[in-house]
Chains A and B, each alone.
Chain A
Amino acid sequence: SYVLTQPPSVSVAPGQTARITCGGTNIGSKSVHWYQQKPGQAPVLVVYDDSDRPSGIPERFSGSNSGNTATLTISRVEAGDEADYYCQVWDSSSDHVFGTGTKVTVL
């Protein structure tokens, strides 16, 4: 089955840039989607198809995908960005797969 690996945690100071990676075999050939989940809330889609943003998601959220790593970048981090972030892909052998999740802490 297809596996997506994320770092358990990322810490960033307000106003700085957070980068969250999502590793998978040849992930660059797949479309990667990212979700934000704040404590006690349902996940929210923040990036789809590698780098597109749903309406209402700030431009500070961006994505890229190449080779074996996809990256979600949060620019000018705010306290309200503190959350768990999950990557997700569809794989022909595994169907939908979520990454292990990354907790973003704003210092």
Chain B
Amino acid sequence: NAGVTQTPKFRVLKTGQSMTLLCAQDMNHEYMYWYRQDPGMGLRLIHYSVGEGTTAKGEVPDGYNVSRLKKQNFLLGLESAAPSQTSVYFCASRQTGTTNYGYTFGSGTRLTVV
């Protein structure tokens, strides 16, 4: 099924460990986004990409890095995880153009940092 796939769905990390979250989309979308969701704060944009090889900072980029080496993949990295990064992470993608403004969201990754 076409859509956005996030890997892994759940993860527990120890403080200081590193990990990479993978977002893959098979819709040939240009734009991709990483959000984090925390209770009472809605979803906040971490980083985004407007095309292969490009990345930009969002609202809460500190402690995260991203890469978009292939159009279909958008990777979110945590170099040294901290308890404050415990959250649910959502990836989304969107096509450009004047007729389609819809976003496709992944099912989320629940990350706990202990």
Decide whether A and B are members of one complex: no
Residues of A within 8 A of B (CB): none
Residues of B within 8 A of A (CB): none
